[in-house]
């Protein structure tokens, strides 16, 4: 298992290869990485370089549109869950200062008559960039597939049935988010573009950002820069998985810092996939993660209740 900037690297092809020894080694490596670091770089993740290149191209094309065009795609009553959210609307939990970003969110498209469809608003199609919506749909499906395999490995590591998460994430409330951190035009109040936070969901899959800036807080309390290698995605544990495992798998604190002054005139783009289950998933701590040394840390809650609470805390829901 290679390590890049303190982030262990694993090969998803080992898990899907059909070779039992490779599979069990992958499960052990992934679990160890999540217990010790909370982030892992994954190669052979199944999302093609071409699709990633297209995704970034159309995202940049969208954010280049004039503000009045982008604002057509902002739907306030959706609390940022679909479409565009303008600059400075979201802040990290516990911080009042808004993050220096604008973003666009694309969600689940239910195609099999699952009644859960009634819970999800429709996606917002961008007319000015015709390839934007179909490319997002294709990438969303790719991330779902990779995320499902990673959660199967996590289930095995936790001593659960390999397919424990499958039905919980099928037609889940996952979000593909395109973020634009615009150029810095005046002395910033803070050195931080996105304040330190943990993600809400089960796991987050991040396909390489267009610029450096992501840092994670390691177990020794140091901020470590994360540079995603070509052809790898970075996958971290979110708060829902931390709750479910009673802190055995830790949600990693991370932030995005401003670039050096000579790069202030540049934009940064980032496209995370926040893998959420259906809202009715029970996040009660697993019995296998509770014992005398590790008493229950969290009251029972569903994924939907927890998401709602967190969206209010970060300012997207009133």
Distance CA 2, CA 33 (A): 11
Global pTM reads: 0.91
Contact 225, 214 (CB under 8 A): yes
Percent of the chain residues past pLDDT 70, beyond the cut: 89
Calculate mean pLDDT across residues 260-266: 83
Q: Which tens digit of pLDDT belongs to each residue from 114-134?
A: 999 999 999 999 999 999 999
Q: Which domains does the chain have, with CATH numbers?
A: 2-313 (2.60.120.330)
pLDDT at 2 over 50: no
Comparing 81-85, 150-154, 191-195, 280-284, which segment has the lowest mean pLDDT?
191-195
Percent of the chain residues past pLDDT 90, beyond the cut: 61
pLDDT at 251 over 80: yes
Q: How confident is the prediction for the chain on average, in pLDDT?
A: 88
Q: Which tokens in the block code for residue 27?
A: 């499960």
Distance CA 108, CA 175 (A): 7
Contact 45, 51 (CB under 8 A): no
How does DSSP assign 135-149, residue by residue? HHHHHHHHHHHHHHH
Q: Which tens digit of pLDDT belongs to each residue from 159-206?
A: 999 999 999 999 999 999 999 988 887 777 766 667 788 899 999 999
Q: Which tens digit of pLDDT belongs to each residue from 269-288?
A: 889 999 999 999 999 999 99
Q: What is the DSSP letter of 282?
A: B
Distance CA 103, CA 241 (A): 25
């Amino acid at each position: 298992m290679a390590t890049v900037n303190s982030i262990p690297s694993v090969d998803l092809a080992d898990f899907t290869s059909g070779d039992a020894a490779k599979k069990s080694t992958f499960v052990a490596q992934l679990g160890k990485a999540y217990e010790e670091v909370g982030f892992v770089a994954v190669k052979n993740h199944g999302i093609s370089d071409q699709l990633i290149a297209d995704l970034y191209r159309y995202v940049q094309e969208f954010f280049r549109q004039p503000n009045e065009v982008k604002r057509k795609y902002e739907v306030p009553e959706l609390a940022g869950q679909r479409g565009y959210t303008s600059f400075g609307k979201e802040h990290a939990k516990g911080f009042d200062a808004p993050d220096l970003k604008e973003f666009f969110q694309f969600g689940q498209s239910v195609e099999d008559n699952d009644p859960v469809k009634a819970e999800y608003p429709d996606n917002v199609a961008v007319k000015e960039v015709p390839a934007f919506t179909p490319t997002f749909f294709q990438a969303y499906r790719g991330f779902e597939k990779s995320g499902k395999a990673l959660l199967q490995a996590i289930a095995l590591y936790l001593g659960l049935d390999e397919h424990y998460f499958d039905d919980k994430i099928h037609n889940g409330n996952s979000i593909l988010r395109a973020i634009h951190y615009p150029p810095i035009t005046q002395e910033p109040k803070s050195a931080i573009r996105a304040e330190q936070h943990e993600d809400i969901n089960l796991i987050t899959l991040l396909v390489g950002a267009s610029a450096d800036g992501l840092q994670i807080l390691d177990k020794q309390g140091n901020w470590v820069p994360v540079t995603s290698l070509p052809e790898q995605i970075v996958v971290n544990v979110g708060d829902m998985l931390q709750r479910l495992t009673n802190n055995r798998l830790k949600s990693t604190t991370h932030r995005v810092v401003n670039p050096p002054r000579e790069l202030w005139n540049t934009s940064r783009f980032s496209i995370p996939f926040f893998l959420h289950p259906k809202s009715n998933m029970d996040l009660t701590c697993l019995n296998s993660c509770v014992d005398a040394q590790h008493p229950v840390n969290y009251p029972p809650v569903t994924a939907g209740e927890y998401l709602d609470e967190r969206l209010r805390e970060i300012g997207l829901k009133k």
